Structure 1
Amino acid sequence: MDRTNWDAYFASLIGATGTGVPGMAVLAYARGREVYRFAAGVRRMDGERFWPMTVDSRFRMASVSKMFTVFTLMELAEAGRLSLDDEVSQYLGFRLRHPSYPDVPITLRSLASHTSGLRDGKVYSIPPSVSVRAFFTPGSPYWEGGAHFAPAGQVPGIYFTYSNLNYGLLGTVIEAVTGQRFDRYQKAHILKDLGCRADYVPGNLEGPEFDKLGTVYLKRDERGPWQGTIDDFGGVQPACETLALQNPYAQDVCQTYDLTAYQPGTNGTIFSPQGGLRLSLEELGHVLDMVLHGGRYAGKQVLQPSSLKAMFSSQWCFDGHNGNTCGQTLLTYGLGEFFVDGTGPARCCRTKAIDLWGHTGQAFGLLSGLFVRPGTGSGFAYVMNGEALAEDDDPRSAGRFSSNYIWEENVMDGLCRLIDGL
């Protein structure tokens, strides 16, 4: 198909009912260079007023943020400031072991690969005045009856279960190693290196960047109005150095806190290292450019090829018994990235086997993703900022040929076919 036809295809996925989304933006690379971009729909709405979706519209990108946390981890490993096989306890300031497996160390690698034996529970982002130790302390308001530890039999280092808390702890470790707040350190290093004006704290975005911030939407009723779920600020920027908790499973636990007295190294979960980065699709293109060029971006070696190889290589692989696959969508996980077998249940292309490495994001109604096709110089990124149907509860949310949601299936199938034809 030519560009006009691709534009029509992606535009057909935008709508206010059924499997439509309020806004969408996509970006594709082939042979190491950008070959296609598209943006349409709305990024924000207020009554009868609408702000258009653009490639530089900024959103809370959900779990695509995880790769930035691992990028930072790898930068620190390259500098000799930590090792992926270090035990997390040495950085947290308290001994953290699974109570059923006290002799099995929990390492940075096991956190990044979701094999730590730790679980989310209901709440995994807690107030800045509270230490992450509270998750693991009986009697604490965040103990949740031990819900942050895996059931006995799911051995740390072996058993995989996707857990956002792992990345809140990695953010805390990054603070302990650097002595700086997680958000500030990233802005001064990996985000700066990649030419991103992104932030984890909406109140700290530069004015022009906040103006580009979009809202994520859901509907209580398919025929009813869109309801803002995250970053629905009505165009008024929050106060500087304030941030709301971000718990998708407990949206009533989302109070706003002042960050000025926060002590780095005690509780990085407040910044949501697993999903809280306010990023644009344009900036995800910078990541694609870096990954597809061996760690180089804008003439600078941001990461060594060996670091990227570790991220995009299997750290865990499902053997039929050793993990929770999230409905057969996660069968091989690296470090902040996962593998999609082009012939497997989570395949992204209906008509051809296309293998991919990357990560999706899904929270509060937002759907995002960044993937590369190994060895080809090709890849893509996308963002959609809402869903008119209930995930899982409405049968129309299920993919037609894969284990992905229909929204992901539609956009990734199109992008796979686009890059495969170039």
Structure 2
Amino acid sequence: MRGIIMLLCINMAGMASPVLAQPGADDASAWVRFDARRDTGADAQGLADRTTGRTLRPDDPVRIASISKLAVAMAVMRLVERDVLDLDRDVSAVLGWRLRNPAYPEAPITLRQLLSHTAGVRDGIDYGLPLDADLERTMQDGAAWDGRYAPGHYFTYSNLNFPIVAAVMEAATGERFDRIMQRELFGPLRIDACFNWTTCTQRAIRRAVVLYRPDGSVARDDLRGAMPPCPVVPAQDGGCDLASYRLGRQGAAFSPQGGMRISARGLARLGRVLAGRHAGFLKAESLAEMVRPQWRYDGTNGDTEQGLHCAYGLAVMILAMPGRPAACRDDPFGDGRLRIGHSGEAYSLRSGLWVDPVTGKGVAFYATALPADTPNGRSAFRAVSEAMIAKAR
């Protein structure tokens, strides 16, 4: 396997310990180490673009996958602070159409449930909706819901929650999701980042990290220095007229579940926000609500994905929480310290943003061109993620 390869060796005590093999010349990975005030270390290896031979840098933007969800939650909390949104209001009242689990038609769905993956939404349908899709009609499909548990009672990680969150944001503000994220998050934090490239600068587009599959084929973002001709899933007739996009009715176009393009340095800045070290961006009580466990695994109340998810806030993964069941294997650091953040996995990329809330220290990283069957490490996380963490610490 090319790329960052995780080799396991056995030490004299019989414990598996990670050894990071040297990356191949074409592979790309980056990490940034940071504390409460600044970046304290950074490195990047490999090529951002194999065609041109452009070398990767820590400030080059990449499609970072599910860490995008954490960024969306930060913007949601900004809107909550201004009373534009309410975490516990029935989102149907904001959307202007009825969102219900067909098995529980009287149970309201809230932003708190959607952000914490407890709304009963499931990835039983394709959440990469075409431009002309209607989210109301889409969510009437029973395959998009769990019929066994009422909203608020069971955790299952689901990407489809976030197109709904994006639609709620749009309906409440009268603004398109990608522009909301620019106004509420990237602009105030001075991060040249975006969703599906629409609000990134030309400089960021020129520095895009091309995502490759292990066989060398392009998975995403071979931009050649230009905005993609259609940054969203085209309409069913092949058209791509963004002027036809309907606020609060589609939600998925800008990939709120995983389509954020951001650099490792930009992630580090989000990490400082999460640690409460960016004064004035979010109130202390808003951050406290984000990182507070909205759900904790008790042995029966959720799908942990083999011990990966054991505590979850508002789009915040909580690792190594004291008192968790023995089945939990959510400590890729291996030191038993509680950390907050999010992981990402899509298009042959693995990523992570993790912060120690006590010290304010953290790491942000990603590695590319990895096979789908990249092995797990000592924890429920991929071995390559454990290796990147070890390298960045």
Calculate the TM-score normalised by the size of structure 1.
Answer: 0.82
RMSD: 2.3
SS of residue paired to 1:369: strand
Residue 386 of structure 1: CA displacement?
2.0
Q: How many Å apart are 1:406 and its aligned residue?
A: 1.6
Which residue of 2 is the match for residue 34 of structure 1? 39
Rounded Cα–Cα distance in structure 2 between residues aligned with 1:279 and 1:59: 5
Q: CA deviation at 1:312?
A: 0.9
Select 2:121's aligned residue among 118, 123, 130. Answer: 118
1:235 Cα deviation after fit:
4.0
The residue number in structure 1 matching 2:4 is none
Question: Is 2:165 the partner of 1:170?
Answer: yes
Q: Which has the higher helix share?
A: 1
1:140 aligned partner? none
CA contact (8 A) 1:43 1:385 kept: no
> Displacement of 1:31 after TM fit?
5.4
**C-alpha distance in 1, partners of 2:201/2:40?**
30
Q: Is the 8 A contact 1:342 1:348 kept in 2?
A: no
- The answer to whether the 8 A contact 2:36-2:272 is kept is no
Distance 1:178 1:230 in 2: 30
Cα 1:292–1:33 change in 2 (3 A) is farther
Distance (whole Å) between structure 2 residues aligned to residue 345 and residue 266 of structure 1: 38
Kindly state the Cα deviation for residue 399 of structure 1 after the two structures are TM-superposed.
2.3
With over 3 angstroms needed to count, the CA separation of the structure-2 counterparts of 1:12 and 1:36, relative to structure 1, is farther
In the alignment, residue 244 of structure 1 is paired with which amino acid? V
1:108 paired with 2:111, answer yes
Q: Please give the alpha-carbon distance, in whole angstroms, between the structure 2 residues aligned to 1:64 and 1:378.
A: 18
1:52-67 to structure 2, matched below 5 A, reads 52-67=55-70
Match of 2:386 in 1: 409
Query: How far 1:291 sits from its partner (Å)?
Result: 2.8
Q: 2:219 aligns with which of 229, 233, 237?
A: 229
Q: CA deviation at 1:269?
A: 0.8
Are the counterparts in 1 of residues 94 and 171 from structure 2 also a CA contact under 8 Å? yes
| Of 128-137 and 266-275, the range deviating more from structure 2 | 128-137
- Distance in 1 between residues matched to 2:199 and 2:358, nearest whole Å: 38
Report the CA distance shift for 1:129/1:291 in structure 2 as closer, same or farther (over 3 A): same
State the match for 1:15 in structure 2.
Answer: 24
Instruction: Tell me, in whole angstroms, the C-alpha distance in 1 between the residues paired with 2:381 and 2:268.
Output: 23
Q: Is the 8 A contact 2:208 2:223 kept in 1?
A: no
* Offset at residue 211 of structure 1 (A): 0.5
Q: CA, structure 1 residues 293+322, in 2 after alignment: closer, same or farther (shift >3 Å)?
A: closer
Contact 1:168–1:272 (8 Å) recurs in 2: yes
Are 1:265 and 2:248 matched, yes or no?
yes
Contact 2:348 2:372 in 1 (8 A): no
- Taking the aligned partners of 1:323 and 1:288, their CA distance within structure 2 comes to 27
CA distance 1:403–1:334, change in 2 (3 Å): same
Instruction: After TM superposition, list the pairs within 5 Å mapping 1:294-333 onto structure 2.
Output: 294-296=277-279, 301-333=280-312
2:369 maps to which residue?
386
Q: What secondary structure, in the 3-state scheme, does the structure 2 residue paired with 1:39 have?
A: strand
Q: Which moved more, 1:175-184 or 1:371-380?
A: 371-380
| Shift in Å, 1:342 | 7.2
Counterparts in 2 of 1:108 and 1:379: CA distance versus 1, 3 Å: same
The answer (yes or no) to whether the contact 1:127–1:257 under 8 Å persists in 2 is: no
SS in 2 for 1:368: strand
Deviations 1:64-119 (A, max 9, x none): 11111111110111001121001111122221221222222111100000000111
Change in Cα spacing, 1:277 to 1:256, as seen in structure 2 (3 Å) is farther
Structure 1 stretches lacking a partner, 5+ long? 1-8, 138-142, 220-224, 247-252, 392-396
Q: CA deviation at 1:371?
A: 0.9
TM norm structure 2: 0.88
One of 370, 373, 376 as aligned partner of 1:399: 376
SS in 2 for 1:303: coil
Residue correspondences, number: 370
The alpha-carbon deviation at position 204 of structure 1 amounts to: 4.9
Instruction: Report the counterpart of residue 222 of structure 1 in structure 2.
Output: none
Distance 2:213 2:306 in 1: 22
2:232 alignment partner, one of 244, 250, 256? 244
Give the CA deviation at 1:331: 0.6
Give per-residue Cα distances to partners, 1:134-182, cap 9 Å, x unaligned: 2123xxxxx3xx21011x3223101001111111100000000110000
Say if 1:347 and 1:69 are closer, same or farther in 2 by CA, change over 3 A.
same
Q: Deviation of residue 11 (structure 1)? A: 7.7
Contact 1:329 1:346 in 2 (8 A): yes
Match of 2:149 among 135, 146, 154: 154
- Output aligned runs, 1:81-100, within 5 Å: 81-100=84-103
Deviation at 1:33, TM superposition (A): 3.3
- Corresponding residue number in structure 2 for 1:361: 344
**CA distance, structure 1, for counterparts of residue 37 and residue 22 of structure 2:** 27
Q: Is the 8 A contact 2:276 2:287 kept in 1?
A: no
Q: Go from structure 1 to structure 2 and tell me whether the alpha carbon gap of 1:228 and 1:288 turns closer, same or farther (over 3 Å shift).
A: same
Residues 349 and 179 of structure 1: CA distance in aligned 2, closer, same or farther (over 3 Å): same
Residue 256 of structure 1: CA displacement? 7.1
1:127 aligned to 130, 137, 140, which one? 130
* 1:376 and 2:359 aligned: yes
**Counterparts of 2:165 and 2:72 in 1: how far apart (Å)?**
7
8 Å CA contact retained: 1:294, 1:304:
no
Is the 2:291–2:316 contact (alpha carbons within 8 Å) kept by the matching residues of 1? yes
Percent identity over paired residues: 31
